[in-house]
Amino acid sequence: MKKFFVGLALATIAFTGAASAQEAPFAKQIKARQGIMVYRALNIGVLGAMAKGEVEYNAEAAQKAADALVSSGKLDVSMLYVPGSSNAENPDSTVKPEVFTEDLGIGAKAADFNTAAEAMQAAAGGGLDGLKAAMGPLGKSCGGCHEVARIPQN
């Protein structure tokens, strides 16, 4: 019985190693940057639901979501966006290949997001009207980058 478990453990290790060796290019970087986007979407969803009246406005929750967006904008994501990590090399990526070959103004678009997130941070906890006013520029800043850098998802 002991030999069976040892054999099973060795087979598991060998299979895991083989699977890792076949991992798509830059899979970890792609998953990390997608995770950041999911995190941002979660927080924008909290704010958007309040702005639309889908949930009751809650100053504390709105402020936490806005603070999280500002924090996410301060992350250094340069090691996550590397040539070879576009959709052309890995179908799990939604980044267009031209992000790495053309000047699409991504830096300016990231700065726009940070500015919009900071405006939301200043407004979110102060009342529903301020939150609503800050939603448009925040959404526009996200869309501005997605329009040029992201392959649309169905």
* 100 DSSP 8-state letter: G
- pLDDT of res. 5: 45
> Is residue 123 packed enough to be buried (19+ CB in 10 Å), middle (13-18) or exposed (0-12)?
buried
Convert the pLDDT of each residue in 111-126 to its tens digit. Answer: 999 999 999 999 999 9
Residue 4 has pLDDT above 60, yes or no: no
pTM confidence score = 0.82
Beta bridge partners of 95: 150
Its CATH class, for the domain covering 25-149, is mainly alpha
- In tens, the pLDDT along 21-72 reads 457 789 999 999 999 999 999 999 999 999 999 999 999 999 999 999 999 9
Long-range contacts: 129-132, Cβ < 8 Å, 24+? 131/47, 131/50, 131/51, 131/57, 131/62, 132/51
Q: What is the per-residue pLDDT across 78-131, written as a single tens digit (0 to 9) for each? A: 999 999 999 999 999 999 999 999 999 999 999 999 999 999 999 999 999 999
